[in-house]
Amino acid sequence: MSTRERVAELHEIRERIRQGPGDKATEAQHAKGKLTVRERIGLLLDEGSFHEVEPFRRHRAQGFGLEAKRPYTDGVITGWGTVHGRTVFVYAHDFRIFGGALGEAHAQKIHKIMDMAIAAGAPLVSLNDGAGARIQEGVTALAGYGGIFRRNTDASGVIPQISVMLGPCAGGAAYSPALTDFVFMVRETSQMFVTGPDVVQAVTGEKISQNGLGGADVHSSVSGVAHFVHDDERSCLEEVRYLLSLLPQNNREEPPARSADDPVERRNDSLLDLVPADGNRPYDMREVIEEVVDDGEYLEVGERWATNVICALARVDGHVVALIANQPQSLAGVLDIDASAKAGRFVQTCDAFNIPLITLLDVPGFLPGVDQEHGGIIRHGAKLLYAYCAATVPRISLILRKAYGGAYIVMDSRSIGADLAYAWPTNEIAVMGAEGAANVIFRREITGAEDPEAMRAQRIKEYRSELMHPYYGAERGLVDDIIDPADTRAVLAAGLAMLRAKHAELPSRKHGNQPM
């Protein structure tokens, strides 16, 4: 066979690989409302940028009929391309081949692309649509998952890892997405669970659907496993591209900056009316964020879970920042178990990838209750505290209204290492609210008074005027400046610019021991 004939054969095989297992399998994929693996990669990466790795790979397994079925790619497409011109590595299950199930060759392809991503210092995106371990290959399939998990851990905090759930993910396979930085899910078509509905019913007697057990809405609002949820794959993959535009390539680089059309000195006069001075009146903290960041654009992470705290990525003066904020519209903005875990993980992720932290405080404390105490609010709250204390990126905190008790300390107070601490003239920094404090300090006096209510009101007023006035913290150096709310954007931008060259030395140790 001549060279030309060999080349013609090569192109013929390549075309068969590109087409996949056939029109019938493709139609079945589309009938489920799902795109094919190459359609997904085409939406994720810049047009024409994909370079495939090991398209000719085939399994070598014997038995159970596998030797008669050896398709190219072995059910997973791997390679690299660009997103907004920057290198991104990707692996994507092809559900049309073995249901996307993982076998030895399949796993080795994933291992190779993960190693390449770590070596190249570029983000890794997994497009998950697989039926778990390939049962016919036995324990070698399980070992393949172990190799993925180990590499997920090696890459943690080194390169951004994003898992996009576009189909089923069951059993041990679900732990790879859990080890990554961000998880996306699509409603109706993606599910994640360790034990499926049939096993749950057999063991517990509970009858539940796949989506009811591990669908996108469950994991985005109940379990907190999924950070983003979408109605369709196209919008999901577009948001993955947007997220990548806010992240650095690796932990040795800064997030990508861009020129800002939104003036840094733009005044925020609307904030004077948006946030009520009365600490008991709610407002939407998202409107504060929109007013402060460039062009009002931000990407909220975990929007539907632990809604009493907001975690978001945005830009200020063209530079990427992370915002952690209490949300007075939900549980009055208190910290609870879920909010502490959510914010703590977000702080760690942003610190790992050199994203400065802006914390907006309006927190009345930790949520009281037996369920919270028995559920471990102490150790979960400590996760957020630990994350802030360990963070070495620029850190700016701003107190809008309430900053009470331990929750004030935990939310990046000056005492735990915030580089700059600002406050509005509506701030109240205290151990607790004036009403509760007066009831504790003056209990006997109030009880013994001829008019207890009048005495209580008098003592509350005295406590507030002496220990909770807006300048109390600033007078003691706990706040660097009291600022006009209208100047918030300009003040934050100036602080971030000053801190851009910050360098913090970490103590010499193998690693810290984070709260359990």
The residues that are catalytic are 171-172, 406-407
- CA pair distance 433, 429, nearest whole angstrom: 9
Residues 202 and 44 sit within 8 Å (Cβ to Cβ): no
- Which tokens go with 303? 């929007």
Tokens of 34: 């799902």
Spatial separation of the C-alpha atoms in residues 363 and 429, rounded to whole Å = 10
Between 285-292 and 488-499, two packed helices, what is the crossing angle to 10 degrees? 60
SS3 230: strand
Contact 315, 297 (CB under 8 A): yes
Distance, in Å, from the CA atom of 139 to the CA atom of 119, rounded to the nearest integer, reads 28
Contact 340, 349 (CB under 8 A): no
Cα distance between residue 405 and residue 433, in whole Å: 9
In which region does residue 129 sit, left (phi positive, over 0), alpha (psi from -120 to 50) or beta (all else)?
beta
Q: Please give the torsion angle defined by the CA atoms of residues 234, 238, 240 and 246, in that order, rounded to the nearest 10 degrees.
A: -170
Residue type, 49: S
Listed as own residue / partner, the contacts of 65-74 with beta carbons closer than 8 Å and 24 or more positions apart are 65/136, 66/136, 66/137, 71/21, 71/97, 71/98, 72/13, 72/16, 72/17, 73/17, 73/97, 74/98, 74/103, 74/105, 74/106, 74/109
Torsion region of 254: left, alpha or beta (phi above 0 gives left; psi -120 to 50 gives alpha): beta
For residue 235, give both structure tokens. Answer: 């919008």
Q: What angle do the packed helices 37-44 and 233-245 form, to 10 degrees?
A: 40
